[in-house]
Structure 1
Amino acid sequence: MTAVPSLEEIPETRRWWARGAYAAVVLAVAVPLAAAGLAGTIALVVTGLGAVLVSVAAIYWFLISRGFLRWCALALAVLAPLVVVVLYVQAGLLREVVISLALVFVALVCARAALRERGEGKAMAEYPAPTWRHAFLVMNPRSGGGKVVKFDLQRKAQELGAEVALLEGPGPVDVDALTRQAVERGADLLGVAGGDGTQALVAGIAAEHNLPFLVISAGTRNHFALDLGLDREDPSGCLDALRDGVELHVDLGKINGRTFVNNSSFGVYAEVVQSPAYRDDKTGTVLQMLPDLIKGHKGARLRAEVGGVTVDGPQAVLVSNGPYGSNDLAGLGRRTRLDRGVLGAVALSAASTREAVGLLRRATKRGLMQRTAPEVVVGADVPEIPVGVDGEALLMTTPVRCTIEPCALRVLVPRNRPGVPPAQPSLDLVRLRELAWGRHLTAPAPSARASAGE
């Protein structure tokens, strides 16, 4: 499983923060009930339980529905607790409602303090910047809504002495051939201003020839740039690495011989990547994934082998170049460092609708496998399966083999850069219970095989 400190290693203060969160919730419920008297208490309890049932049902319909019904369900989930608050106020319990809301806020603060994991250690090691003579940069003027033009990246790079190749057609441009020709002409530094898919392609060539690689955050999401600590708001700042930079040595993922810098996705994940809307609205397209995940994916039957464990029939598998946070099931967050020398793997195997809803609400970990391993193999009952590789939709021959090349890529970054932001803890109810009561409530990790249907 993904590394989680044993309970003996967890500081006692974190346990007390977790217990404090539960105590605050109990007090938040008890305050209005104590003020209402016996008859009022019965009415308030019935009203509160009704609101909880309505909210849970609404959340369920939000997760399994699409279109207008989904947003009606979301509105109902929000309105139900608001109606309860109004009824409590009308019953003359305004002061108690305010106190209860304050206690809920305290509970959230305590929960975040309890769930905040210790740091990953020191930042990635920095090395002296290489001396370069011929920098070759690939720039996609259409990427990121036109950031190359907006930030005048071509002119600024050329003023620093770099050669720039614009991917402006008129037809498709073979980036692989273009970059390899530049290396043959003596390029001793490669770089990309574009999306993560293009970054991965050129990064693989840079690693192959042991050349430094420059990341310019001109894509739409720039996940790789974020995890390198680069400025995603102003990609021109990445060019500062050409005059005052340092070198980082980061891992590279490989999938059937192809390089990836972020992740490769299978099953429902991969089908989401096929959507034309994925590039512009990743979160929205993941929402489109939820109904299929909950109701049961109808595509090829997958089989994932991760670190000696086989998961048979998962609806979705995500393999990442280094693990994401333990609460990130869709690769939407970040990685604290890129030099850990292992792949991260997430497999979702919801055996029932109830299990899938609980998993997505982070109220259970049953049906979830998270591990790190140097190799992940994904097989299927068909010869080819769709795979999303750094946001690119591909078809790959099975079995698909993912491996890691530790510290294979020399990345040139500015000496002065924003840095990797600290991780913010998610509200993981299972983990909070473990911390508070001193026992693990999750299903034991499988020792050999795990089946989605068992």
Structure 2
Amino acid sequence: MTEDSGTRVRRWSARAAYLFAAVTIAVPVVFAGVVGTVGLLIVGAGGVVVTTAALYWLLTRYGLLRWASLVIAALTPIVVVALFVRAHLLWVVLLAAAAALAALACARIALRPETSRTTAPELPAARARHPFLIMNPRSGGGKVERFELPRRAEELGAEVVLLTGQVDVVALARAAVARGADLLGVAGGDGTQALVAGVAAEHGLPFLVISAGTRNHFAMDLGLDRADPAAGLDALSDGVELRVDLGRINGLPFVNNASFGVYAEIVRSPAYRDDKTATVLRLLPDLLAGHRGNHLVARIDGTTVTGAQAILVSNNPYGTSDLAGLSRRERLDRGLLGAVTLTVASTRDAVGLIRRTRSRGLTQRTAPEVTVDADAPRIPVGVDGESLELDTPVRCVVEPGALRVWVPRNRPGTPPAAPTIDWLRLRDLAFRGR
């Protein structure tokens, strides 16, 4: 049987990955010798450890120690490079690093899925007769007006309400349902999206996402075009339906994630809006040392984590390479929450985290329910970017398939996540024909 072009590309990419990996190992041995190679590894690894430790002290100390840590963190890479130059080995390091990057790139080409994954199966979507859209003119730096979203939506038969001042969007959505709206939608941030999505789920109505916010994480995971919010309106004339999950935290809906601990405490500070960097540097040492903030206890599918400094609970899990919920989720219909807890109590923990070792300070789990308790009756929680205070224990659950999202039939889609590098799989592709 003749192999197709895609299979040939994957096979030769796997072979190239092994070739570049061999070059990565051979270059320092050939040009620096075994002793020189060991020296390179010691200096390089030592530089990473010292820099990481200095950055940890920068974030966890005040005064003179903080400034000294900043100097060490800045100077260490320079010293490492200087040592390589002095030993006439900098070019060896750069060549080996280039070969390693080439091996990684080839491995990802070889292992990437042959077809892009979908957030959820597509279902037929009928035409909405009375769509109701809420638009926030302030979101995303004025995307609503810049892309003429109200005019375009009204031309498609939608009723549009622009948010001005403090408005109860849940009450707006419920009033629209009472008047006969058969679709609810939002052009705004993820926090507003979540509130209206909750109303749509309660009434079994389809929900329309228009990517007019700043980050638009939910839109990204739905495969929408974040660069062109107006493209989301195509779902009103030629759309398909995705049944996706909806998260609930103490009964409130969320579409992305809820964060506890350090991030929630910092965002709650009134000074955060005016000067984010200064606020983080001022609050972080006491938060990491446990002198400020609440003592958290997370219960995740039979696992209890005590004293975590940061907890992230997401509506479906993020990729294992993403600890902060800043990336993307491959699926939104698994019926599970993702849970990440982080405890960095020492320099050793910080180094272990940077090296991505599975230390006891990091847990990543999936579960249908996550409970977070604390030593206070109420705690700050960041829910889809909004700062809230919720009663403890805080209960997070997922409602499988609760949300009927309408998206355009033609959309960019969700690119497959970067594959995990599996050298055994690469060997099979390169040399065994499978």
User: Which TM-score band applies after superposition, normalised by the shorter structure?
Assistant: 0.7 to 0.9
User: Cα–Cα, structure 1 residues 102 and 266, in superposed 2: closer, same or farther, change >3 Å?
Assistant: closer
| Distance across 1 between alignment mates of 2:227 and 2:274 | 16
User: Cα–Cα, structure 1 residues 29 and 292, in superposed 2: closer, same or farther, change >3 Å?
Assistant: farther
| Distance across 1 between alignment mates of 2:275 and 2:237 | 35
Q: 2:137 aligns with which of 134, 137, 141?
A: 141
Corresponding letter in the other structure for 2:183: L
SS in structure 1 opposite 2:181? coil
Task: Answer yes or no: is 1:153 the counterpart of 2:149.
Answer: yes
Shift of 1:387: 0.5
Corresponding letter in the other structure for 1:319: V
Where do 5+ consecutive residues of structure 1 fail to align? 1-12, 437-454
Q: Is the 8 A contact 2:133 2:187 kept in 1?
A: yes
Where do 5+ consecutive residues of structure 2 fail to align? 1-11, 60-65, 427-434
Q: Is the 8 A contact 1:28 1:104 kept in 2?
A: no
| Distance across 2 between alignment mates of 1:117 and 1:64 | 41
Shift of 1:20: 7.7
| Distance across 1 between alignment mates of 2:102 and 2:83 | 20
Q: Is the 8 A contact 1:322 1:343 kept in 2?
A: yes
What is the TM-score with the length of structure 1 in the denominator? Answer: 0.78
Q: 1:192 aligns with which of 175, 179, 186?
A: 186
Q: 2:128 aligns with which of 119, 126, 132?
A: 132
Partner of 2:368: 374
User: Cα–Cα, structure 1 residues 355 and 120, in superposed 2: closer, same or farther, change >3 Å?
Assistant: farther
User: Cα–Cα, structure 1 residues 157 and 78, in superposed 2: closer, same or farther, change >3 Å?
Assistant: farther
| Distance across 1 between alignment mates of 2:282 and 2:30 | 40
Quote the RMSD (CA, aligned, Å).
3.7
Shift of 1:352: 3.0
Q: 2:213 aligns with which of 198, 211, 219?
A: 219
Q: Is the 8 A contact 1:278 1:285 kept in 2?
A: yes
- Mapping of residues 38-53 of structure 1, within 5 Å: 49-50=42-43, 52-53=45-46
Partner of 1:62: 55
| Distance across 1 between alignment mates of 2:153 and 2:273 | 26
Q: Is the 8 A contact 1:378 1:399 kept in 2?
A: yes
| Distance across 1 between alignment mates of 2:330 and 2:274 | 24
User: Cα–Cα, structure 1 residues 174 and 267, in superposed 2: closer, same or farther, change >3 Å?
Assistant: same
Task: Answer yes or no: is 1:417 the counterpart of 2:398.
Answer: no
User: Cα–Cα, structure 1 residues 417 and 291, in superposed 2: closer, same or farther, change >3 Å?
Assistant: farther
| Distance across 1 between alignment mates of 2:359 and 2:111 | 16
| Distance across 2 between alignment mates of 1:416 and 1:278 | 40
CA distances 1:352-391 after superposition (whole Å, capped 9, x unpaired): 3311331144134432111111111111111111111001
Shift of 1:46: 5.4
Shift of 1:103: 3.1
Identity in percent: 58
CA distances 1:415-435 after superposition (whole Å, capped 9, x unpaired): 000001221258xxxx98999
Shift of 1:61: 1.6
| Distance across 1 between alignment mates of 2:419 and 2:286 | 27
- Mapping of residues 134-283 of structure 1, within 5 Å: 134-169=130-165, 172-274=166-268
SS in structure 1 opposite 2:132? strand
Partner of 2:101: 105
What is the TM-score with the length of structure 2 in the denominator? Answer: 0.82
- Higher mean Cα deviation, 356-365 or 243-252? 356-365
Q: Is the 8 A contact 1:139 1:167 kept in 2?
A: yes
Query: Size of the alignment, in residue pairs?
Result: 409
| Distance across 2 between alignment mates of 1:391 and 1:214 | 20
Q: Is the 8 A contact 2:17 2:102 kept in 1?
A: no
